[in-house]
Amino acid sequence: MNKIMVVDNDTMMLEFLSDLLENKGHQVKTAKDGLAALETLKTYIPDIMFVDLVMPNISGDKLCRAIRRHPELNGIYITILSAIAAEQEIDITEIGANACIAKGSFSNMAEQVLDLLDRVNSKIPYNVTKKTTELEDVHTSKINKELLYFKRHSEAILNNLSEGILELNPDNKVIYANPFVQLMTGNREEDLLGSYFPELFEDPYRKRLTEMLHLIDKGPQEISEDLPVMLKGKMVSLSIFPVNDEEHNSIIVILNDVTERKKAELALAEQKDFSEKMIENSAVPTFVINTQHDIIIWNKACEELTGINAAEMIGTDNHWKGFYDHKRPHVADIVVDRTPGSMSEYYSNYKKSAFAEEGLQAEGWYANLGGKKRYIFFDAAPIYSSKGELVGAIETLHDITDRRRAIDALRKSEMKYRDLYDFLPIPVYEMDLEANITSANKAMYKAFGYKDEDIGKGLNARDILSSEDVDESELSIQRLLSEEKTEGAEYTLKRKDGSLFSAIIISSINTLWGKPRDIRGVIVDITERKLFEHELSETTEKLRKNLIGTMQTLSLTIETRDPYTAGHQKAVSKLARAIAQEMGLSADIIDNIRMAGAIHDIGKIAVPAEILSKPGRLTNIEMSLIRTHAESGYNILKDAELPYPIAEITLQHHERMDGSGYPQGLKGDQILIEARIISVADVVEAIFSHRPYRPSLGIDIALEEIEKNKGLFYDAQIADACLRLFREKGYKM
C-alpha cells in the first residue's frame, strides 16, 4: 500500500483518481490547488504525488519546486498530470518532477497510472520520454494551452518589473512572488509560497499590516513612502488591493523599495539644515534671496555689519536699506534677474565671479555702513535646485577697508620703490600685450647695451630674441594671455651689437579687474651655467664609457674561468637588448639591459671552475653552488655605486613569474622588467648553445620552451617580443 496525494483543481479528476487508487488499496488524500497541497504536506507526507500543471493559487510547477526545497519531502515521487507537458515536451525534471502522464481518456490514464505505480514499487526506471510521447488518444486542451501561454506571458512581464509583486489568497498566504520580492526578502519564491504575508515583517509593522489586511474588503489599502514599513532592513511602501471573480478571490500587494530615495531625502534635508546653519553662523556677512527678491537668510555677521536685525529683513526685499538711501538692485538681485549687463549702471568696479559661473562681483566705498565708512567687496552667485532650476541667490559682503587703504598707501609709495627697482642686479622689464617693452631697469640696459631713449623709440621684445626663438616667445605670450600662468623658459638672447647669450626668462601677466594689463619679467644670464653643463656632460660620457669598459673586463674575467660558456653573456646582452627595442622601451632601460646582460653571470667567479666546466650532470650540492651565483653577483656589484640598478638585475635574472625562480622567489611585477627580459634571453641562449654536458639543442627547442611557459615562467609580453624577433624579423643568434 502506498500513501498517495492527488492535486488537481478538476473535481472529476480528483474523484476518478481517488476511486482508482483506493480500490487498489492505497491511502489517498486530495488537494484542489498547490496552496492546499502545501498545507496538507505539513501533516501528511505521501510516497507518490500526482500533480496537475495548471492550477489556481500555486501552480503545479511551483508546487514541485517548493516541495524540493524541503529535505523531508525529497523522497516523494512526483508525477505531473498534463497533456500540455506531454505535447510541448516540457522538461519536468527541471521543476523537480519524476514523471509525466498526459491527461486523456480515463481508461488510458488508469492504465498509465497503475503501470507507473507498479514500476515505482518494483523500482523499475520509468521512461519519461516514452510515456509522454507514445500515448495515444491525448486530448489537446486549447483552453489550457491559452491559459499556460497567458500565465507565461504575464509572469515574463511581472518578472521584469522593478517593483515587488505578491499575490495572496483570502487567508493572506503567499501564492505568487516575483523576482523583485525575492531580491527584497532574500528568499526564493519556493520558500515564500504558502507563508503568511504579515510574518515577513517584524513588529510593529506586522501588526500594522495585519490590521490593513482586515480592511481589504472595504477597498484598496496603502502605505505611502512618507511612513514606510521596514522589510529586511529596507524601507518599503505598499499598495494592497483585492482581485475578485466568480471562482477565485485573491489579494495583490505591490512593494516599492524607497530606501535610497528616503536616504537621499534625509541627506538632502540634513544638507539643507547644515547649509543654513553654516551660513547663519558664518563670520562672513551673508544674505540669501529667493527669485521674488525676498530675503530668506540674513545672518548674524550681516546684522553686525549693517546694524539691521534679521527680524526686520526676513521676508522683505529691503536689503538695499543697509547700503543705499534709495531702493536699487544689489548684486544678488542682478544675478537672480540674469541681467549682468546692468552692472555698469550701478557699480563702477565689477567683474564676473572667479568662483561661480553666472556669479558677479563688485566693490566700492560706502560712507555710512553700520555707522562707519567702509570699502565693501560683494560676491553673489545663483542657487539652483536639484532639478537645475534657479531658486535664488546668495551674496557675501567682505569688509576690505583696511586692505583698500593699504593698497592706496602702496600706490602712493610706488615712486619711492622705483629707485630700488633700478638698482636690482638682474634685468627686470615690463612690456605691453604687443610685446613692446615699456619699462626696464638699469641692469636690463647694461645686459643688452641699450639706453633709455631706445625704449622711447619703440623697442620690442622680438628685437632681443634670436630669430629661432621668436616663434616660441609668441607661444609663451599667448599662453600667458589665455591662462594667466607664470612662464619660465630658456632662450638665446641678442644684444644690441648682435652678440648672443643664453638666459632664462621668467614672466607673468599683470591683470586689472580680471583683464590682462601688461607682462612683467626678469632675465637670468645662464651663460656660465651652460658652460658648466657642457663640461659636466662630457665628464659623464667619459664615466659612462669607463663603466662600459669595466663591465666588458668583468665579463671577460668570468669567461676565462668558464670556456664552455664563452660569449654567453655577450649573446644574452645582445638578445635582451633586441627584445627591449622590440618592446619600445626607453633608451635608459635598454642601456641598463645591455650592461646588466654583459655581466649577469659575474657571480660565477665565486663558483669553482671544475663545477662550471663539469661535463656530466651536476649533483644537488653542485647545483646549489651554481645557484648562488646570482646572489654572489649582487654582493659584488651592490657597493659599486653604479648609476643603474645593475646589481638588482643581476640578483633577479633567475626569478620566474610564478615565483618558482631563485634566489628570492619573486613573482610578477616584483621582478624588475630588465631582469625579466634577461631571464628570457638567458634561457634562449642556454638552450641554443653547447654546454659541457650536452650539444646545442637548437633555436626551435629554445623558442618552444619560451612559448610553452609564456605567462608561467616568463613575462607574456617579453616572450611574445622574443618570438617575433626570431619568427617574423629573422633574428639570428
Confidence band of 666 (pLDDT split at 50, 70, 90) = very high
Copy the grid coordinates of residue 693. Answer: 654536458
Confidence band of 478 (pLDDT split at 50, 70, 90) = low
Is residue 156 one of the residues assigned to a domain? no
Given phi > 0 = left and psi -120 to 50 = alpha, else beta, which region is 612?
alpha
Percent of residues, the chain, with pLDDT higher than 70: 86
User: Using CA atoms, how far apart are residues 198 and 223, in angstroms rounded to an integer?
Assistant: 14
| Per-position b or e across 524-549, b if 16+ CB within 10 A of its CB | ebbeeeeeeeeeeeeeeeeeeeebee
Q: Would you state the pLDDT for residue 222?
A: 92
Copy the grid coordinates of residue 294. Answer: 525676498
Domain count across the chain: 5
Q: Would you state the pLDDT for residue 680?
A: 96
User: Using CA atoms, how far apart are residues 194 and 70, in angstroms rounded to an integer?
Assistant: 13
Kindly report whether the peptide bond that precedes residue 220 is cis, defined as omega within 30 degrees of 0. no
Report angle CA 164, 170, 174 to the nearest 5 degrees: 35
Is residue 513 one of the residues assigned to a domain? yes
Is residue 12 one of the residues assigned to a domain? yes
Higher pLDDT, 419 or 138: 419
Domain identity same for 52 and 93? yes
Query: Looking up cell 539643507, which residue turns up?
Result: 272
CATH number at residue 353: 3.30.450.20
Q: Which of 480, 485, 503, 322 is CA-nearest to residue 395?
A: 322
User: Using CA atoms, how far apart are residues 61 and 34, in angstroms rounded to an integer?
Assistant: 9
**pTM score > 0.75 for this model?**
no
Domain identity same for 136 and 36? yes
Domain end marker among 227, 257, 287: 257
User: Using CA atoms, how far apart are residues 117 and 124, in angstroms rounded to an integer?
Assistant: 10
Tens digit of each residue's pLDDT (9 = 90 or more) over 241-293: 998 876 678 899 999 998 888 888 888 778 778 878 888 888 899 999 999 99
Residue 693 has pLDDT above 50, yes or no: yes
CATH number at residue 666: 1.10.3210.10
Is residue 389 one of the residues assigned to a domain? yes
User: Using CA atoms, how far apart are residues 148 and 82, in angstroms rounded to an integer?
Assistant: 11
Domain end marker among 357, 372, 407: 407
Return the H-helix or E-strand segment holding 493: strand 487-494
Least confident of 49-58, 152-161, 344-353: 152-161
Strand, coil or helix: 44: coil
Domain identity same for 348 and 437? no
Task: Find the mean pLDDT for residues 115-122.
Answer: 89
User: Using CA atoms, how far apart are residues 694 and 689, in angstroms rounded to an integer?
Assistant: 9
Residue 133 has pLDDT above 50, yes or no: no
How many helices (H) and strands (E) in the chain? 30, 22
Tens digit of each residue's pLDDT (9 = 90 or more) over 567-605: 788 899 999 999 999 999 999 899 889 888 888 888 888
Q: What share of the chain is helix, strand, coil (3-state, %, to 5)?
A: 50, 20, 30
Tens digit of each residue's pLDDT (9 = 90 or more) over 551-577: 666 666 666 666 655 578 889 999 999
Q: Would you state the pLDDT for residue 483?
A: 55
Residue 685 has pLDDT above 60, yes or no: yes
Domain identity same for 348 and 396? yes
Domain identity same for 227 and 290? no
Is residue 263 one of the residues assigned to a domain? no
User: Using CA atoms, how far apart are residues 574 and 339, in angstroms rounded to an integer?
Assistant: 72
Domain that residue 224 falls in: 161-257
Is residue 498 one of the residues assigned to a domain? yes
Cα distances from 295 to residues 198, 286, 316, 357, 390, in angstroms, run 50, 11, 6, 22, 15
Confidence band of 144 (pLDDT split at 50, 70, 90) = low
Domain identity same for 245 and 272? no
User: Using CA atoms, how far apart are residues 560 and 605, in angstroms rounded to an integer?
Assistant: 10
Confidence band of 132 (pLDDT split at 50, 70, 90) = very low
Domain identity same for 74 and 139? yes
Domain identity same for 248 and 272? no
Domain end marker among 484, 499, 525: 525
Cα distances from 514 to residues 6, 296, 520, 662, in angstroms, run 89, 31, 16, 64
Domain identity same for 173 and 136? no
Is residue 733 one of the residues assigned to a domain? no
Return the H-helix or E-strand segment holding 222: strand 221-223
Domain identity same for 361 and 310? yes
Q: Would you state the pLDDT for residue 476?
A: 62
Residue 139 has pLDDT above 50, yes or no: no
Is residue 638 one of the residues assigned to a domain? yes
CATH number at residue 75: 3.40.50.2300
Residue 240 has pLDDT above 60, yes or no: yes
Mean pLDDT of the chain: 84
Task: Find the mean pLDDT for residues 200-219.
Answer: 89
Domain identity same for 689 and 564? yes
Domain identity same for 225 and 294? no
